[in-house]
Structure 1
């Protein structure tokens, strides 16, 4: 069965070599949402008020899923617990979070897909709305060197608890990617992008090869209507033709 799924992956990747392969992270390369999981991790560690933080974390996640998320308000909420801490302070938390919450989300077929693009000589990039403090270790763990993510502000060596720069979300993903491409030998019009979410529609529409991966209902309907490639990195029985 695994061989059949790998064959489906091969058939659902681009038919001609693409110089840039772009991947969303949460619920695409991972079997879960690392951003929401970070909130639960902070609760379990007793670093935030459990009731208040869970209510807000769940509400923001629901807004993300239905396309109504205020990314600025969310980043203020998500980064607030880091205020006053240094990058060194949070390294133990990052390591524990990776072991406890992220390693169980690993998808073998996601590893297969990444390796297929590496074997073709493609340049790999992860682009995500989840902040870089969470996602930089994940990208390294997946063997992907380049990452575009929401950034946390640092002043005098300490996190302020506020975001910095353009949020890497919806149209902001396109803006951040275009800025990143300015000194790179790649073209957006020749890239492939894998995502599960309708929030990524602006970038999916901007690339040569949009691929819906375990797509939400909205994106699944759009992908079908537009003839976009669709696949699953979950269980073989869920693989989309």
Structure 2
């Protein structure tokens, strides 16, 4: 059956009931991918972000730098193990049902997330989704360089990615769906035909009420 529209899904706090970043850091410490000093730096970055002292893009850049020299093969294996052992149990049953419904109705199902390819791909494969649009990390000679590849897929960058994806694949954003939880996704939610707020944060919930957007809690 040809795909007649596209349904995009955020990952953290949408498909997952949690933010995978915290579990990723714990798993990295347990498996030797990060040292304790790296965990401390990560905690400081997270605290600074919550105080609006640094941007999400800066966090992505600094987190990428911590993984400089890690083999891509090791990163793929690490992410798969993290998903199988910890993240899989946090998948929301209602999002599984939404993905199934869209597939049965002729929709292309795509993760649109600030998370990296390494985090998103196991989810796409496990849930039988069609594609992913996310942040990428630069690789040279099989090793992570410690730099992001291209722009961080966050905020307005998600808008650019969504428009580009729809144009490339022949979809109309006015018939598209997007499931997301955060106020940072408002730029995306307001340019598509079917915005759905999943357990939205306070700022997104207020906008959803004002604009009569669908809400799943």
Above 0.5 in TM-score? Answer: yes
- Distance (whole Å) between structure 2 residues aligned to residue 192 and residue 229 of structure 1: 11
Give the Å deviation of 1:214.
Answer: 0.6
- Paired position in structure 1 for 2:15: 29
Structure 1 gaps, min length 5: 1-16, 233-241
- Paired position in structure 1 for 2:181: 196
Give the Å deviation of 1:94.
Answer: 2.1
- Paired position in structure 2 for 1:181: 166
| Change beyond 3 A, Cα 1:49–1:33 | same
- Paired position in structure 2 for 1:116: 101
Does structure 2 conserve the Cα–Cα contact (< 8 Å) formed by 1:38 and 1:134?
Answer: no
Aligned mate of 2:192, from 186, 194, 207: 207
- Distance (whole Å) between structure 2 residues aligned to residue 26 and residue 61 of structure 1: 18
| Change beyond 3 A, Cα 1:86–1:75 | same
- Paired position in structure 2 for 1:50: 36
- Distance (whole Å) between structure 1 residues aligned to residue 62 and residue 159 of structure 2: 24
RMSD: 2.3
- Distance (whole Å) between structure 2 residues aligned to residue 58 and residue 139 of structure 1: 31
2:83 counterpart SS class: helix
- Paired position in structure 2 for 1:8: none
Does structure 1 conserve the Cα–Cα contact (< 8 Å) formed by 2:45 and 2:59?
Answer: no
Are residues 1:157 and 2:142 paired? yes
Does structure 1 conserve the Cα–Cα contact (< 8 Å) formed by 2:76 and 2:118?
Answer: no
Residue-by-residue CA offset, 1:67-89 (whole Å, 9 max, x unaligned): 77513321122223432233223
Q: Give 1:103-142 correspondences, 5 Å limit.
A: 103-142=88-127
The number of residues matched between the two structures is 215
2:169 counterpart SS class: coil
- Distance (whole Å) between structure 2 residues aligned to residue 166 and residue 52 of structure 1: 23
